[in-house]
Every structure is written in structure tokens, then in C-alpha cells.
Structure 1
Amino acid sequence: MRRAVVACLAAVAAVTLGVSSGGSAEAAPHTDVLHVAPDGHGTACTAQRPCSLDTARDQARKLVPGAEGDVVVELQGGTYRLTGPFRLGVQDSGRPGHPVVYQAAAGQNPVLTGAVKVTGFVKTDAEKDVYRAKIPAGAAGRELFVNGVRADRDRGTRDPSGFTVTATGFTTADPGYARWTDPARVEVVRNSGWKQMRCPLASIAPSASGGSNLTVDPACWNNNHSSVPNPGFPFNGAGLPTLDGITWLENAYQLLGTPGQFYIDQNAGYLYYVPRPGENLATADVELPVAPELVDASGTPGHLAPLNDTDWRAVYTGSWGYSGGRHLGDLNADVHYTSTDGDAVSYTFDGTGIQMLSESNGDEGSADVFIDGTKVSTVSGNGPVRLAQQAMVSVTGLSKGSHTLRVVKTGGSYLLVDGFTVIPDPIAPVHDITFSGITFQGATWTAPTAEGYVDNQAGVVWDPTTRAPARIPAAVQVHRGQRITFTGDTVTHTGTSGIDLADQTQDSTVAGSTITDTSGIGVAVGEVDDYYQTEPGLMTSGNTVSRTVVQFPGQEYADAVGIWVGHSRGTTLSHNDVGYTPYSGISIGWGWGWASDCTLQEKQGLPNPCLHGTTYAGDAHVVGNHVHSVMGALFDGGPIYTLGGQSAPSEFTGNVLSECIDGCNMIYHDEGSSLWETHDNVVRFGNGSLWTNLWTPSIHDDSIHDNYSDTAAYNNSGTGITFQQATVVSDGNWPAAALAIIKAAGPGTLPGSAVDDDDLRVAYTGSWSSSGSRGDGDLDNGVHYTQQNGAAATISFTGTGAAFFTETNSDEGDFGITLDGVSKGTASANTPQRHSRQTLWSISGLTDAPHTLTVTKLSGTYFLVDGFALS
């Protein structure tokens, strides 16, 4: 396609819309090309007279029906500053096999950003080195990036002492807090277990004893402390960490003073910042994200979620009963029921379809289904076991308008009504659109500022008002998409998640892309509240994330993961590099023990009799991923974490899982995980973690075999598990089969010249451990280390030069260097004080050919590997 574009540039200049000329009868269909630029205007959309992005979208919309090939919107390099999302609807779709392509011009880097550039800094506090700049009115962003590096909102001491929980928040004997200005902007942050919770304060006042009372916003305190949402399966598990302490306080002017931290005075419209060493605010690129979203590609309908049987539009005629507080897996723990034939429920709605949730069981019977007075089907709830929230009635394809569903009991002992899902619009995905070579950055999510952050798990939250499941929004959002492709794109520096394939998106792809430095999830796929779905067109299915680098997600919301997949069918996660995460690396599945039968739930010791239903999830392929340096802030996760049952087998193979920081299980099949074929994975540097953990009986019917691990510890308390202990390896002496897995994992060579100590190109022999989230200035905030003389680290590369960097300290000694089997002498890492990221050996002028560099510990207590630089 790029060749076609280049060949047609001369013809493009001659036509108003930039339409390339056709070739011979044997040539491929010609490509229509529209050109845009950051300062583009007018409607020509040619290379000489580029237009704006919105104008090109509108022109492409007109071209698609008559196009013979692709329609390409080519973006010139530069910064496109957005105040709101670039929106694409069904009308902006391409055609199967011929998408509308939004791509970077050859050799150029277009950047779509939702940030404003902040200038005009003046020093206002010489003692604390605080600078101030005016920001646009209403700018309420929570993030700041200086020269491409994330700054932190100013925060207090970690795990501050002296605070006691009260009925409304916290109290302390320290009177200083009561003197803080603008306390309603202050947030209290709590990391506990697998959750991060945030709440704004309502006030800070002097206490009767002379200290300070911190009153938390009452609604947020209720959601995060007093009455944490807890509907149970399929929405959340049994554990319930609460905001019962303070990990740190955030966003008060009085906390300023640490380089790289900022504070925004929204009332006065000022940004305050303390520069890092070497930052000159007169010339620095200071970017404040203000737009909530960058790209929104949406089909119809949007998000579908069931409404309860108590919804006001449901009219019950006859002798219906109501049962609440059942705790049997019903939506909102209640149902309407009748045992009388002829009793009916009617529901009038505006839309194109409707689904009714019921229950299946041996005492459930049949019912006739009518739409607008016409019988359309007879359905039955009869089944061998009780299953909650079953889509007993599903009607789609109606003309858009007002309709009435009527369901009449005709047989059996009972008819139950548990809920209704209205389909408001035609099922029409936005489809066949590609984004290629584009950088997206600078989006923000401001809702937590006023409402707090009410966490469930893995970047899935509770809506503070409705207490329904929700997710951190993404900078790039696809809602009900089909064949939407991201290839060679970058999403970075966001206060949101990265890319979200949401609302039953199908057959869409994120490939060869980079998602890094996001406040939320890197890539999200699927939903958490469509488990009951029976309509294939309303399922998340066929999506792929492959050969993509997802690093440093969760930089603001620490429960967020690198790649998250909810209920889905046929999802492929292949050869990705996922790393430096505060919680798990990849989280796939939802529902906990929902799809595990009642006997297994009872064996687990769950408090409710049985919350049991079904899911359409399954047929996942988690293959060849490198997941490393995980669990940097929270606990009870792992490099790859599965959750909930499946309706079809899935495979988990060829993955390399390494460098757990804390609170980890390396292969973690959690509650309800079933039908996983887990084999031929390599587990290393778990730092005391179990290589696999199947901790409870609701985990069932998994097959685990032919794996490799540098630790023998595991837990198999599942049911019906086919289990084989891993081949246990010591001192990095991996067998050939394991080495082949390591070589094949990940997306290939990562971009850039720096090679972190976690990189798969680095092989460790001898006794090594890893350490992450150190905060000592290491490359990517971690190192590998050894106390064993003779332990070595080897990197193989093709290039003309290399450098080795490490840490120096008084407890470190000498190391030897070997290049291509020839000794290059020794060097010392011993210094009186600690210094991080020190280049202690380098070479240049090599023949541009394959080389092998080895560094070997010779003396001292410790030897550290921080990374290499290649040229």
C-alpha cells in the first residue's frame, strides 16, 4: 500500500481530493489518498494543500462507496493538538479487505495529543525551588509531562505514622495538617492487597486534642470504606480490602518541594512545579493533558448492561411473587416469580431488541414470547442444574422504535424474571479502519478528582454513583468495532488507559505497537457484565494483541495491568512484551467462581450457597509472551493471571514469566479458572514466588505439564487438575527446549539502544536474583544481582559497539569482561558511596557483525547488572 501511495503522488497533486490515478487492468485497485497536516485547512486534502484531520475524515466518508481499493488518510509529521476526541462512526467505516487507513506519511511522526503546552514559569519559592505558570481556565488535569517524563502530583511521606481511623476519615496528633490550604483538593491514597483506593477530603480541621481531623468526602468514604460494593460473583471476589489506612496524601501545595512533583491550584489557575536537576523551565517542553479522549470509534449500540427485574417498565400481571436477598446469583440478588400458567410480564422499550434474564432449573418451565402482540417463540427454562442470569429470551433485529415484550408462562412449576437488557440501536459495528504509525498522547481522566477511585481489581472500578462495574477510560477507544486495526502505533504519556477494544468489539487487532507510561491499563479487551450473552453478534470475539510492547502501565492507578481481557471468545495474546507493572502483567478472564458448580464453590468455603451461572468466554490463546518485572506496588497477582471459568478450552504456552517484585504467583490460575492447557512455559526469577498456584477447589479441569522453572515450589489445590511438576533448573542451566522458548518469546528486538537487565537477550548463569521498584535510579528501576563469584551475564548482539552499566558501592568488587571469547580485562564496581547506572566498560569500532559480551563476578559481596547499551 505504501508503494501505491508513493507511485501516485504526482497524480494526487492534480486532483481536488488527492485521488490517485488507476493502473493497468492487471494492477491492484488504486488507492485514494487524502493528506492532512497539523495546520491543514480547506478541502483540497492534497500533498500541496493538506486539510485538517476532521475534513479528511469527512472526505473519506464520501470516497468509500466508490473506491476500488483502500482509502488512505496520510498524516504529515508534527503535533495535532486536540481538545476532544477524533470521532469515527459507522458512516466512517471502510469495506472488508479495503479499510480506511489513517497512517503516518513516510518517515514522519504525527502526534495526536490532548495536552496543552505550559510556558512562562516564574520562580515563586526560592527555598523549595518552586516555579509557577498560568494554565488555561478550567484545566483540571491530574498529570504532567516534562520533556517527555512523567511528573508526580506532590505527595507526602509513604505510610505516614500517627494516623487513626475515625468514623469519617482519619485523625492525627500532628496539628500541621489543619493549616493546609484548599483541603478539598487533597486526596488520601491507600494501597492494600490488589487494590488502590483514592478519596478526596471534605475538610481538615483542628481536633479537640490539638491535632488534625481529616474528614474524607462522605460518598467516597462510604464506597471505599464503610460500604464497599460487594455483589459477589460474577462481579467481584470474596476479598474486600478497604480504605483503612493511608499509604500517602497527595495534591496539597504544602507538600511541594520534591523535584519532579507538581501541584495545580484550580481556583487561581496556576501550575506549580519543582524542576528536576538539569531541567530548564524556560526551554522545557511542559505538557498538561486536558482532553479526556483522543480517538473514539463507535458503532451501535453502545454499552449494554442488564436492568433489574424491579425496573419500572416491567409490568407483572397475575399472581407474581417477589424474592429479595436470595444470594443465589441473581442480578441484584432478587427475582420475580410465578407458578401460575397464564401469568405474564410485559416490558415496553425503545430500541431494536431485548433480552430477558431468567433462571434455568429442573422446576422451571416454558413460556411464550410476544413482540407487539405477535408470538415470536416459545422458550424454556428447564435444565438439569440451577443456573442464574440466563438469557432465556433474546429478540434482535426489530425496527428501531417503541416495542412491547410480553412473556407468558405456559408450563412447568415456575417462571422467573431476573432482568432485561434493552438493545437501543441496530447492531452496526464501526468497521474496517486502520491506524498505522501514529503517536497518541496527553489524555486525562478527571473523574477521580471529585468522586475518588473506587477500585475492584485490575483497572475495573465501581461507578461511584450507580456502583455498577466500569473501567478506566482509554485515550483510544473502540466501542462495538469490527476489524479495527492498530499497527505500529504508540500510545504514551496518558492519564488514562491506552487502547480499549470495548463493547463487544470483534476481529480487531493491536499489532507491532507500543503502549507505555499510562495511568491505567495498557490494552483492554472486552467487558465484565456481558457474561450471560448468547447472541454471537453481541459477544467480544476474535481479537488479537500481538508483538506489542506494553510497559509502565498503572502509573497513577496501581491496580491497572498491562493487558486486560474480560469476557471474550477467541482472544489471542501473542508474542508481546509486558513489563514494569505495579500489579499483574496480563489479566485474562472475569467472574471468579461464577462458572464453577455449586459443589466446588462449597468446597472453597464460600459464604453463600451458590452463585452459579455461565459465561461465553473461552478459546483464548496466550502464546509466546514475555512478561517481566511485575507486582511493583500491590500483592496477590502475577505475570499472567487468569480468572473465572470458560465455555471452551484455552491454551497458555511458550510464555517467559520472570522478575516478580513482591506478592506474586508466577503462573496464577485464580478462582474458577478452568479448561486451561498450560504447557511449555519458562518461569524464572520469581524471588520466592510459587511457579504456579491453583489454590482452591473452584479452579478445575486444567492441564499443566512440560513447563520449566528455577523454583520447585507450587500449590495444586484445584479439582480435576492434570498436573506435572515443572522441570526444575538451577544456576541458569536451561535445557535446549527451554532456551528455544526464551529465544522465541516476546516481539523480537525491542526499540532503542538501551538493553535492560530484564531483556531476553541477556542470559544469566550461576545464582542470580532480581530486584525491582528500587527507586535508586536504575534503568527501568531494577537490577539483577548475584553474590556468587563466577556468576555471569551474557548478551549476544549484532552491532559495532557495546557498553555495560551497573551500580557501584562499597560492597561491590571486581568483574571480568569477555568479548567474543577473548578477555578484555577487569573493572571494579567498588566505590565509597552508591552510584547508579554507571558505565564501567565500553567498546566501539567493532565490525558490524554478531558479537557476544560476558561480564563475570570476580570479588566483592555483590555484583549487579543494570543493563547494556548497543550501537
Structure 2
Amino acid sequence: MLTEFHVSPAGDDSAPGTLDAPFATLERARRAARKATGDVVVHIGAGTHVLDRPFELTEDDSGRDGRRIVYQARGYGTEEQEQAVVSGGREITGWRVRDDGAWVAEVGDLDTRQLYVDGRRAERAGIDGLPGDARRSATGYVTDHPLDWQAPGGVEFVYRGVYPWTEARCGVASVTRDGDRSVITMVEPAFGWAVALYTSAWEGQVMDGPGLPTRIENDPSFLSEPGTFVLDRSRPGRHVLHYLPRPGEEPSRTRVVAPALETLVRLTGTRDVSFKGLVFADATWLRPSTERGFLHYHGTGYHDGGAVEKVVIVEDEAWVTVPAAPRTIPACVSLRDTTGIRFEGCRFTRLGATGLGATGGEDVTVRGCDFDTLAASAVTVTGVRKAVIEDNLVERIGLDHSGSPGIAIAETVDCVVAHNHVREVPHCGIVAGPGRGTRIVRNLVTGSMSVLADGGGVYLSGPQGDSPGNGAVVSGNVIKDTRTPYNFALYTDYGAAWVTVEGNVVAAADNTAVLQVSPPLENVVYRGNFWDADPMGSDDVPAGVTYEDNTTIADKAELDAATTGIQARAGLRRSL
């Protein structure tokens, strides 16, 4: 038995939910689906379905007795498929145009970190670095340059490359004058946490704290580049949005959307539900704007106070401090302890955190989806059994948080990451932390590591099993154009163990791979790979590594000719 419901932005929740008399909201459809028997399909019609709170599914919203509940774009899989957008955004109206051409709107208590103009991302206005002769103080910074910031309490400092793989954010509390100096007091506890966290040494030279900011954002005085915006929150409940338009934009015919929700969809304990052909868009993440800041450490992890630990690389010469209990950037579409959840043919776009995140549970599938214009990662999967991340396009991610990998998995069992194309990302393309039975196969990673350093197109760390039968396999992947200095396109790092790296193609990287790391690799096999340069350490292979039958071909045309079959099978296959 199949039960069908229809939803349209022009519908009515008092209607029966038929094609001719659809519901108006997803929430009404959820309630109807909960009461239905047999398989249920909710057809979501064309248009923008604006949420005023997260769309939440619990255990009671599960499929039962072998049935599934499907939320899909009307006409999914046909030429008549409609574009149904699930949005957490708020359209901004009531603009007034200042004499300098900037648009200004009163937005009440709206808080956001992103803005989209006719669907295109607007950047937060900013300047590069702190002007004048500046130095850090106990509570912030001092500079001999007069600062004419109009709303200093909303200004945010960005620290790119405190460690080569980090990008932190911390707010300004106030700016005062002291004679010829400008005294900047930073927000606490974030600034104190940053000083405690970012200490390290390299070749005996100690770095203490975050140093000077690399970029400063979000003051009306920074608004000089068309297509940029500022949110002035200096008057609580009376926030003001400033936008400097691009040529040709007019308030009367330009649609401006500010993400208002942090979570679009949340599933907790839900079973056997599918989402097909939907667009998930327009969400933000406000944590970096709080007094706790965003003290990034690695990947999607950040420091939230508490203890830090010292990791010694070379005794008395090189060490770093790391969070003892890091937290993870959340996802705008969030799964926790779910079973049998599917996302197929969906798009995740204009999101202020990670696109899709799954924690705990089992049997999660993300297939044939597009991820773009994201502040953080596309997909993160933690502690899930039997996840499949397959045939997805990932691009333009990490736009606000540059350390975010395209796809990240950790503590998973029998997870498959296959046939994805990850391109133009600021740090790692695909990351696997400790796990068991991981398969990273036939992915195409191009243009990774474009902003931060010390990572790779495919990166693994920690134990990946305890025998050849349950270790990780990294096979048939093609990794090209790994950009920043100090990278390893195919990177087994930090105690990686029980990994087979076989039949991959690597070209145009600072380093193709590395065999000598700390802690050392154990039971790692590099076999039958093709690359344009020898991996670091291949001339003195460590005891924990087997290195055999690999081929180095420096000439690009010859390398491509020798690996035609591998390259043809890597990447997206949805059109095959």
C-alpha cells in the first residue's frame, strides 16, 4: 500500500494534502505521514519552502515494518522534476539607499554570518591585517594607527595559518584611544583560550599565542568592495544590515536572503526515511560570533575551553598544543543515531556550517548529491556503521572555515567513500580518522589544499583496523593539483596503521606521498601506484611500510597515457 501527500508553498495546511489541494508546510506533511500506513511518499512542489524552525523527525516519524517514508521533489527522477527548496532564510526588504550607494535595512534581532544576493554569496566586508605598527598585549592589541571603526564591538579578527592547518576567529570587545595609540580589547574567554591553545615550537623557536590577525571583518567602515556586506549588531534588537551592491543591482528587483536558522533538518533516532531531489539552502552558524569565538584546530574540530595537551614531535625542538576535547562544527542537516536514512539527488547549498552530518547509528547513504557554497565541509560521518558516500560532487566548500575537508569520516565501521569528485577546496579533499573497514575508492580529487597547508587530497590518520581483513583500502583514486606548499597529495599520517594504498594516480602536488611520519606508520602498504615524483621517504622505507611495484613517471602526457584506465573509472559515474 502506498500513501501519497503533496506540499506546495501555495497550499493550505487545512487541505487534505492531495495534488489538487496540497498542504502548505513540511510539518503538516510530517504529521500526516506519521499516521499513515504502508509506504509513504511526500511530494514537495516547486518553490521555496521557508522554515521558521528546524524540520525535525524522531523515532516516531520512522518507516515501520519494512516500509519507507520518502520526502522528494515532485516529479523526482523524471524530466518534469520540480525544484523544491527547503530554506532557513529570511528575505530582506525595506532597503534605503545612502548617498554613497550602499543599501541599509533595519533587520530587528536577525543574526547571521552570511548573505546571498540573487542566489550569489556576498562576502563579509573586511580589511587585510591590522594597520600601523601593531603588537599583541595581554588583553588584545595596540597600534599606533588611529582606528575609525564605526561599530568595533562587532568586528572579528581572522587568524589564518596560526598553525599551517588552522584558521581561527575571535571578536573585538572594544577600541579606545590612549594618546597616539589605539587599544583593542578582545572578547573573552575566546582570546585567552587562543593564547593558551596556539603555542608551539619548531627547531627550538617558540610561538606563543595567535599573533597578529591576517584579516579583520564586519565593520561599516570596511564597506568598499561591491558585493560585500556588514551586519551591525551594536544596538540589541535593532540590528542594521549594510550591503554595497554590484553594478546593475537595484533594491526593487534584487532578492536578498539572509540565513536565519542554524539547523534546517534534524533526525534523531529515525529509521528508514529518504530524501530525494530536494535543495537544502540558507542556514547560518552563529558560534564564531559569540564570546567563545571559533578557535579552530584541525579539520572540523575546534577548541571550546578546557584542557590543552602538548604533543611532542622532536624532544626540546618541535611541539604543538592541541585541545584535549575538541568539538566539531555542526551540520545544517543533522542525523543522530539513525538507521536506514538515504539522501539521493539532493543539493546542499548556501549553508553556514557543514552541509550534512551523521553521528552514530548505521546504514546511511548519501548518493548523487551536489554540495556547493558551504561555509564548512560537505559531509561528515562519525561513529556510523555501514555508511556509503557515493557519486557526489563537492565544490566551493570551506568558504568561512578554511580547514574544513570536503568529506570527513571518523570512528566508522565499513564506511565506503566512492566515485565522488571533490574539487577546489581550501584544505583536504577526503579525510578518514581512526576507523575500521574503510574503503576510499575511485574518487577524483582536484584542486585541493588551495588555502591552508599540511594536508592532502586524501588524508588518513590513526589506526584503521587491526588486521589486513578489516583495515582501510585506498584504491583507484586520482588526485591532481594539490596546491599550497607543504602538502602530501596522498597522505597517511599520525600513526596510520593497517592501510593498503593501491592503484592510485597522483600528479601536480608539492609531495606525492610521505612514508616517514610521527608517530610512525604501521602495517601500511603502498603498492602499484602511479605518480609524477617519488614519495618522501621512499628512498629509506621505514619498517612499518611495504613499498612495492609503484611507478614514477615525471612527464604528464606519459603518466596520463599509462593510467588511462584508472582515470576513466575515477570520479562521478551518475551519467554512466
Unpaired runs of at least 5, structure 2: 76-80, 201-205, 308-322
Contact 1:195 1:241 in 2 (8 A): no
Question: Paired residue for 2:370?
Answer: 514
Deviation of 1:122 (Å): 2.4
User: Could you say which structure has the greater relative contact order, defined with CA pairs below 8 angstroms and 6 or more residues apart?
Assistant: 2
Partner of 2:10: 39
CA deviation after TM superposition for structure 1 residue 496, in Å: 1.4
Amino acid at match of 1:525: V
What letter corresponds to residue 631 of structure 1 in structure 2? M
Which SS does the other structure have where 1:714 is aligned? coil
Structure 1 CA distance, aligned partners of 2:141 and 2:254?
A: 39
Range with greater deviation from structure 2 (516-525 or 734-743)? 734-743
Shift in CA distance, 561/184, structure 1 to aligned 2, threshold 3 Å: same
Tell me the equivalent position of 2:571: 746
> 1:728 and 1:105 mapped to 2: Cα distance?
51
Contact 1:628 1:660 in 2 (8 A): yes
Q: CA deviation at 1:123?
A: 1.9
Residue 495 in 1 paired to residue 352 in 2? yes
What amino acid does structure 1 have at the position aligned with 2:530? Y
Question: Which residue in the other structure is 2:558 paired with?
Answer: 733
Query: Contact 2:2/2:40 (CA < 8 Å) preserved in 1?
Result: yes
Q: Aligned AA for 2:74?
A: A
2:294 aligned partner: 453
Contact 1:75 1:103 in 2 (8 A): yes
Matching residue of 1:614: none
**In the alignment, which residue of structure 1 is the partner of 2:330?**
473
Change in 2 beyond 3 A, CA 1:556/1:473: same
How many Å apart are 1:222 and its aligned residue? 1.4
Residue number in structure 1 paired with 2:548: 724
The Cα shift of 1:98 comes to: 2.6
Tell me, in whole angstroms, the C-alpha distance in 2 between the residues paired with 1:710 and 1:131.
52
Q: Is the 8 A contact 2:127 2:217 kept in 1?
A: yes
What amino acid is aligned across from residue 330 of structure 2 in structure 1? P
Question: Is 1:583 matched with 2:427?
Answer: yes
**Corresponding residue for residue 283 of structure 1:** 253
Residue 206 to residue 625, structure 1, CA distance change in 2 (3 Å): same
1:50/1:102 CA distance change after superposition, 3 Å: same
Q: Which residue of 1 aligns with 2:31?
A: 58
Partner amino acid for 2:283?
A
Deviations 1:374-394 (A, max 9, x none): xxxxxxxxxxxxxxxxxxxxx
Q: Hey, what's the Cα distance between the residues in 1 that align with 2:473 and 2:493?
A: 16
Selected match of 1:114 from 58, 66, 88: 88
Using the alignment, how far apart are the partners of 2:548 and 2:376 within structure 1?
A: 36
Tell me the equivalent position of 1:636: 454
Q: Of the candidates 519, 525, 533, which is equivalent to residue 711 of structure 1?
A: 533
Alpha-carbon deviation of 1:160?
Answer: 5.6
Q: 1:472 to 1:224 in 2, by over 3 A?
A: same
- Residues 727-769 of structure 1 deviation map (CA, whole Å, 9 limit, x = unaligned): 1221321365511111111113789xxxxxxxxxxxxxxxxxx
CA contact (8 A) 1:668 1:694 kept: no
TM-superposition CA deviations, 1:772-820 (whole Å, max 9, x none): xxxxxxxxxxxxxxxxxxxxxxxxxxxxxxxxxxxxxxxxxxxxxxxxx
Is the Cα–Cα contact under 8 Å of residues 482 and 506 in structure 1 kept in the other structure?
yes
Q: Is residue 199–residue 208 contact of structure 2 (8 Å, CA) maintained in 1?
A: no
TM-superposed CA distance for 1:245, in Å, is 2.0
Over residues 35-67 of structure 1, what are the superposed CA-to-partner deviations in whole Å (9 max), with x where a residue is unaligned?
A: 11123321511111111211111111111xx41
Distance 1:440 1:96 in 2: 29
| Alignment partner of 1:169 is 2:140 | yes
Deviates more, 1:146-155 or 1:460-469: 460-469
> Who is 2:184 aligned against?
214
Aligned match for 1:646, one of 439, 443, 464? 464
8 Å contact 2:197–2:209 — kept in the other structure? no
Asked if the contact 1:696/1:718 (under 8 Å) is kept, the reply is no
Does the 8 Å CA contact 1:296/1:476 hold for their aligned counterparts?
Answer: yes
Equivalent residue runs for 1:293-692 within 5 Å: 293-299=263-269, 430-450=270-290, 451-464=292-305, 468-502=325-359, 504-526=360-382, 539-590=383-434, 617-647=435-465, 648-663=470-485, 664-686=487-509, 688-692=510-514
Instruction: Report the 3-state secondary structure (helix = DSSP H, G, I; strand = E; otherwise coil) of the residue aligned with 2:27.
Output: helix
Q: Aligned AA for 1:48?
A: D
What is the CA-CA distance between 1:164 and the residue it aligns to? Answer: 1.3
- Give distance in 1, aligned partners of 2:172 and 2:248: 35
How does 1:75-86 map onto structure 2 within 5 Å? 75-86=44-55
Q: 2-side partners of 1:589 and 1:159: how far apart?
A: 36
Q: Residue 184 of structure 1 is aligned with which of 117, 131, 153?
A: 153
- Alignment counterpart, residue 71 of structure 1, candidates 37, 40, 43: 40
Instruction: Determine the structure 2 residue equivalent to 1:394.
Output: none
Where does the alignment leave 5 or more consecutive residues of structure 1 unmatched?
1-29, 231-238, 300-429, 527-538, 591-616, 752-871
Q: In structure 2, the residue corresponding to 1:475 is in which secondary structure? A: strand
Q: Which amino acid letter does the alignment assign opposite residue 149 of structure 1?
A: R
Could you give the per-residue CA deviations for residues 114-156 of structure 1, whole angstroms, max 9, x where no partner exists?
0111123322142xx3211232x21110000111111111111
Cα distance in 1 between the residues matched to 2:478 and 2:519: 27
The yes-or-no answer on 1:199 pairing with 2:21 is no
Q: Is the 8 A contact 1:291 1:443 kept in 2?
A: yes
In structure 1, C-alpha distance between the alignment counterparts of 2:377 and 2:483, rounded to whole Å: 19
Using the TM superposition, give the Cα deviation of residue 464 of structure 1 relative to its aligned residue in structure 2, in angstroms: 4.4
Query: Could you tell me whether the CA contact under 8 Å between 1:131 and 1:273 is conserved in 2?
Result: yes
Residue 187 of structure 1, CA deviation:
0.7
Whole-angstrom distance in 2 between the partners of 1:33 and 1:465: 50
**TM-score, length of structure 1 as denominator length:** 0.59
Alignment correspondent of 1:307: none
Aligned to 1:804: none
For the residues of structure 2 that align with 1:440 and 1:240, how far apart are their CA atoms? 42
Task: Give the 3 Å change call, closer, same or farther, for CA 213–746 of structure 1 in structure 2.
Answer: same
In structure 2, C-alpha distance between the alignment counterparts of 1:157 and 1:653, rounded to whole Å: 41
1:82-93 correspondence to structure 2 within 5 Å: 82-93=51-62
* Residue 249 (structure 1) shift: 0.7
In structure 1, give the amino acid aligned to 2:33. Answer: A
Q: 2:114 and 2:352 mapped to 1: Cα distance?
A: 6
- Cα distance in structure 1, aligned partners of 2:427 and 2:575: 22
Q: 1:661 to 1:624 in 2, by over 3 A?
A: same
1:713 deviates by: 4.3
Query: Following the alignment from structure 1 to structure 2, what is the Cα–Cα distance between the partners of residues 749 and 723?
Result: 34
Contact 2:132 2:145 in 1 (8 A): no
**TM-score scaled by structure 2?**
0.88
Q: Determine helix, strand or coil for the equivalent of 2:5.
A: strand
Q: Deviations over 1:259-287 (max 9, x none)?
A: 11101122232211111233333211211
Q: Is the 8 A contact 2:167 2:402 kept in 1?
A: yes
Question: Quick one: distance in 2 between partners of 1:76 and 1:639?
Answer: 38
Deviations 1:140-193 (A, max 9, x none): 100001111111111112576632122222221101x2x322212111110111
Inter-partner Cα distance in structure 2 for 1:124 and 1:715:
61
Within 2, Cα distance between the matches of 1:619 and 1:200? 42
Q: Distance in 1 between matches of 2:450 and 2:257?
A: 26
Is residue 131 from structure 1 mapped to residue 103 from structure 2 by the alignment?
Answer: yes
User: Which of 101, 107, 111 is the aligned partner of 1:140?
Assistant: 111
Pick aligned residue for 1:151 from 122, 126, 130: 122
1:229 to partner: Cα distance: 10
Flag the 1:229–1:45 CA change in 2: closer, same or farther, 3 A.
farther
* Residue-pair matches, total: 534
Q: Matched residues in 2 for 1:246 and 1:229: separation?
A: 16
Partner of 1:685: helix, strand, or coil? strand
Partner of 1:223: 193
8 Å Cα contact 2:436/2:464 also seen in 1:
yes
Superposition pairs for residues 807-822 of structure 1, below 5 Å?
Answer: none
Q: How does 1:689-700 map to 2 (within 5 A)?
A: 689-700=511-522
- Aligned to 2:537, the other structure's residue is in SS state strand
Flag the 1:96–1:680 CA change in 2: closer, same or farther, 3 A: farther
Aligned-residue RMSD, C-alpha:
2.2
Structure possessing the higher radius of gyration over alpha carbons: 1
Alpha-carbon distance in structure 1 between the residues aligned to 2:495 and 2:358: 24
